[in-house]
Chains A and B, each alone.
Chain A
Amino acid sequence: MSLKEELKQAIVADLNLEDISPDEIEDDEPLFGEGLGLDSLDAVELVVLLQKHFGIEVKDMEEGRQAFVSIDALAAFIEQRRG
């Protein structure tokens, strides 16, 4: 399973997204606002999700803001942090 697929599955499961399946999430689709429609508390859940599933702690929230734009951005952020 690719990193992006893993991310999509974790997001759907951990954020309890009931009306969407992982396959329906586009890689470049905005996660917040008019895209996937995540809200401010989902952002908190994303921070928890990154730590729980990928062992990555987001301490610099500005970094997090940039990473939470899309699946593409999140995957790039994880790969960068993994070195």
Chain B
Amino acid sequence: MNSPAAKTAWSSKSLGNRFQHQIFYALLRLAGPWPAYGLLHLVVFWYNLRPSVRRNAGYFLARRFGRQAWPQRFWQSFRLSLSFGKVLLDRAMLGVLGRGEVTVAAEDMDSLRQMLARGRGVVMLNAHFGCWQTGMAGLEAIDRPVNIVLQKGAGDVDKHYFEHRSGQAVVNLIDPNGPFGGTLDMLAALKRNEIVCIMGDRVVDGDANTVAVDFMGGKVRMPFSIFAIASAARAQVAVTLIERQGPGLAKVHFADCFEVPPDLGKSPAALCPWVQRYASALERMAWQKPYQFFNFFDMWEKE
């Protein structure tokens, strides 16, 4: 599984092309969600016939379920890809039709408000888990600006939910390819006591600021930059994972909340325990909800 030939870097490139995505968007507009969900099953089944699609899904699934016979592997890969497709449809549905419902437990909302009351901003550390963008829409109810750190690759044709909207974006986007990698924008947002949302489970090209942490029985590299920024800003960190519970339904889980000590600088050794804490929270959720952890590449280091 970890052979050099099989090792591929993560890419945001979409599986389908722009035209195929437009078909789904048009179907959503013209016929509503159910025909789009129906077509999705056929499309995912077709793509799942490709060995490369099953292999990419299998890196994580094999760690979660162990080595399975071919029919199980096919079924698990189909379920994972279908689940991912539903998330993409949900976020399009939210953007196109304005349909979506996000549940945030009252105590979690109180926790978030308490974190913001400290006045030093909150880092919402997300992952490629569930329907994070649909969940982010639920944050519109909070009276604080939301900044999303978002990198779009050249081959990524999936529209994000705020891109479906014709008006002004309801969130501020921070480009990690911008000046200083967007770090000063993130720091400024936290200093303004705003929310900064960022994925913590992917290493983007050229990011040397990573550490190896334990995850699903192996070592993976995860970025530590956001923890250094949180330390500098003395901001709270909330590991925010958003479970898809049904068509257009999302539930926000604050899987862990903590404050990174100040003045850690950019020392990998000092920041590693906090990255590990994030990885452990993500692992717990990925274990509980395996078909909501969207990992389609071999993220594990060779043992």
Contact = CB atoms under 8 A, between A and B. Distances in A.
Contacts, number: 52
Contact of B188 (A16, A40, A59): A59
Contacts of B265: 14-16, 45
B275 to A, nearest CB: 14
Interface in A1-55: 14-16, 32, 39-45, 47-48
A24 B52 CA distance: 53
Contact of B232 (A39, A47, A57): A47
A29 B229 CA distance: 26
Interface size class, chain B: 20 to 34
B225 A40 contact: yes
A30 to B, nearest CB: 13
A59 B208 CA distance: 27
B228 interface: yes
Interface in A42-80: 42-45, 47-48, 57, 59-61, 64-65, 68
A44 B179 contact: no
B147 to A, nearest CB: 12
Interface residues of A, number: 20
B232 A48 contact: yes
B184 A64 contact: yes
Contacts of A14: 265
Contact of B266 (A45, A59, A60, A68): A45
Nearest to B186: A44
A18 B191 CA distance: 30
Contacts of A57: 191
A65 B187 contact: no
A60 B192 CA distance: 10
B184 A42 contact: no
Contacts of B179: 65
Contacts of B182: 40
Contact of A44 (B192, B208, B229, B267): B229
B184 A41 contact: no
Contacts of A15: 265
Closest 5 interchain pairs by CB? A40-B181, A61-B184, A43-B180, A41-B266, A61-B188
Interface of B: 179-185, 187-188, 191-192, 208-209, 225, 228-229, 232, 263, 265-267
22 contacts: A15-B265, A32-B180, A40-B180, A40-B225, A41-B183, A41-B225, A41-B228, A42-B266, A43-B184, A44-B229, A44-B232, A44-B266, A45-B265, A45-B266, A59-B188, A59-B191, A60-B188, A61-B185, A61-B187, A65-B179, A65-B180, A68-B180
